[in-house]
Amino acid sequence: MEIEIATIGGYEEVGRQMTAVRAGDDVVIFDMGLNLSKVLIHDNVETERMHSLDLIDMGAIPDDRVMSDLEGDVKAIVPTHGHLDHIAAIPKLAHRYDAPIVASPFTLALVEQQIKSEEKFGVQNDLVEMEAGETMSIGEENELEFVNVTHSIIDAINPVLHTPEGAIVYGLDKRMDHSPVIGDPIDMDRFREIGEEGVLCYIEDCTNANKKGRTPSESVARKHLKDVMYSLEDYDGGIVATTFSSHIARVTSLVEFAEDIGRQPVLLGRSMEKYSGTAERLDFVDFPDDLGMYGHRKSVDRTFKRIMNEGKENYLPIVTGHQGEPRAMLTRMGRGETPYELDDGDKVIFSARVIPEPTNEGQRYQSERLLGMQGARIYDDIHVSGHLCKEGHYEMLDALQPENVIPAHQDMSGYADYVDLAESEGYKLGEDLHVTRNGNMIQLVE
Ligand SMILES: [Zn+2]
């Protein structure tokens, strides 16, 4: 059976992930993501009304025109998890393919919301839910399997396409977490079994390939956060926390520790409401009944007024804005645009790392300065990464023993350390180690 891989997006950058695998006459697409920084750099761009081709020209979504060179029928579109760089191009591209979108329950709910907010295209693809551990036939001879992995968003999977020539394992995005705060540990047993059955190709998330050692578990970030928050138990002023709104495990820890130190947590900001509301509706979390979640400007401002009236010392606002995004809640608080007033010595907890990208770094710097000018004390970097570091990459190669490896989810300089690691494990660049770019085809079996 002919096996071909189209590396469509996310092979020259972190963002706008998209890969297609052709096995005989069947094609499966993994991820259709957005490169958010390409959108944010233009102020006031509303992608909801934009045409795909304009977004492709901006470098915001994958240029999927290369798909016309793949001879086969697309049988499934498979987003691996709910981060925007993996799902947010679905409303712009999926309607071009007569195929269902197959995803885990939380991811699928987020995809559904993306499709609903789309204003340019009518996306009619069937939405099919599949859980980790389950499989689905793809055409006559191929089978799709979801393996449970751990990442900075719940319900992440790595899809595996089993073909007569061996398995294609799509490894974006994950870390190896054996004690995640929510959900099951990564299913390394299954990866090892798949390795024994035979892996034709492994596509790897190289985000942290240049970092030594092992990515700590979410339970480590949780302990760190607990230490910081418990140390503030006697502080009788304002404490504000921010984190990735899609990071449900972290939000859950913030909510829990707020209550432990005698403060009522409240989630503020549109995306806080969206992700936590979805997780609660699907029973991934069990928040306290009285946990407030407010997204609209008016209800947020009303909540801030209530907090100021009843005393800041009784509350923990958990807000958007960990990267200093200009229109996010924490940035507005820093600019003094909300009814919440910061006093000298008030605490701001960033349970997030700055995404190392000039736009984020600049905006975050500005946000911290503004908060600092009002007297806020900053607690930074209470976080662990969602991506494998070097020893995780080594363990995955050891478990899967793939015949071919394709590094992904980085730019060219970001691949260098992964290439070194793979070569030290016996792979040869240009033979079975394929460093590639957006828009290329790699023929694995002719
Ligand atoms: Zn991700």
Separation of CA 37 and ligand 1 centre (Å): 15
pLDDT tens digits, one per residue of 197-246: 999 999 999 999 999 999 999 999 999 999 999 999 999 999 999 999 99
User: What pLDDT was estimated at residue 334?
Assistant: 96
DSSP readout, 86-134? HHTTHHHHGGGS-S-EEE-HHHHHHHHHHHHH--S------EEE--TT-
- pLDDT of 82 above 90: yes
- Between the CA of 306 and the centroid of ligand 1 the distance, in Å, is 36
**Using one digit for the tens of pLDDT, what is the confidence trace for 250-264?**
999 999 999 999 999
pLDDT of residue 43: 64
Strand partners, 23: 3, 26
Q: Is the pLDDT of residue 164 over 80?
A: yes
Closest CA to 88 of 157, 126, 34, 152: 34
Q: How far is the CA of 178 from the CAs of 172, 194, 209, 351, 364, in angstroms?
A: 18, 19, 20, 21, 32
In the structure, what pLDDT confidence band is assigned to residue 249 with cuts at 50, 70 and 90? very high
Ligand 1 center to residue 110 CA distance, Å? 13
Taking the centre of ligand 1 as the mean of its atom positions, its distance from the CA of residue 307, in whole angstroms, is 34
Rounded distance from Cα 151 to ligand 1 centre (Å): 7
pLDDT at 160 over 70: yes
Percent helix, strand and coil across the chain, each to the nearest 5: 35, 25, 40
Cα separations in angstroms, 11 against 5, 27, 116? 13, 19, 28
Measured in Å, residue 18 CA sits from the centre of ligand 1 at 13
When mean pLDDT is compared across 112-126, 151-165, 170-184, 331-345, the lowest value belongs to 112-126
State yes or no: pLDDT of 46 exceeds 80.
no
Can you spell out the DSSP letters for 5-31? Answer: EEEEESSSSSSS-EEEEEETTEEEEE-
Question: Is the distance from CB of 8 to CB of 64 less than 8 angstroms?
Answer: yes
Distance from residue 195's CA to the centre of ligand 1 (Å): 24
Judged against a pLDDT cut of 80, whether residue 129 lies above it is answered with yes
**pLDDT tens-digit profile of 396-424?**
999 999 999 999 999 999 999 999 999 99
What average pLDDT does this structure show over 274-280?
A: 97
Ligand 1 centroid from CA 237, angstroms: 35
**393 Cα–ligand 1 center, Å:** 16
Q: What percent of the chain has pLDDT over 70?
A: 100
**Per-chain mean pLDDT for the chain:** 96
**Distance from the alpha carbon of residue 230 to the mean position of ligand 1, in angstroms:** 30
Q: Is the pLDDT of residue 64 over 80?
A: yes
Chain segment 177-198, per-residue pLDDT in tens: 999 999 999 999 999 999 999 9
Question: How far, in Å, is the centroid of ligand 1 from the Cα of 81?
Answer: 7
DSSP string for residues in 26-63: EEEEE-----HHHHHTSTT--GGG--HHHHHHTTSS--
Q: Is the pLDDT of residue 44 over 70?
A: no
Amino acid 118: pLDDT: 87
Confidence of residue 47 (pLDDT cuts 50, 70, 90): confident
CA of 204 to the centre of ligand 1 (A): 13
Give CA angle at 30 (77, 184), nearest 5°: 100
In angstroms, rounded to a whole number, what is the distance separating the alpha carbons of residues 273 and 295? 6
Reduce the DSSP state of residue 305 to 3 states and report it.
Answer: helix
Task: Give residue 119's pLDDT.
Answer: 84
Q: Please say if the pLDDT value at position 116 is more than 90.
A: yes
Q: How far is the CA of 336 from the centre of ligand 1 (A)?
A: 32
From ligand 1's centre to the CA of 354, what distance in Å?
A: 15
Give residue 114 CA to ligand 1 midpoint distance, Å: 16
**Look-up of token digits 């790897």:** 204
Q: Mean per-residue pLDDT for 292-318?
A: 97
Dist. CA 34 → ligand 1 center (Å): 12
> What is the CA(29)–ligand 1 centre distance, in A?
17
Q: How far is the CA of 4 from the centre of ligand 1 (A)?
A: 25
Using the mean position of ligand 1's atoms as its centre, give its distance from the Cα of residue 335 in Å: 30
Using one digit for the tens of pLDDT, what is the confidence trace for 352-384?
A: 999 878 888 999 999 999 999 999 999 999 999
CA 296 – ligand 1 centroid, Å: 26
DSSP state letter for 67 = G
- The answer on pLDDT for 42 being more than 80 is no
Are the C-beta atoms of 284 and 248 separated by less than 8 Å? yes
Rounded Cα gap, residues 6 and 164, in angstroms: 19
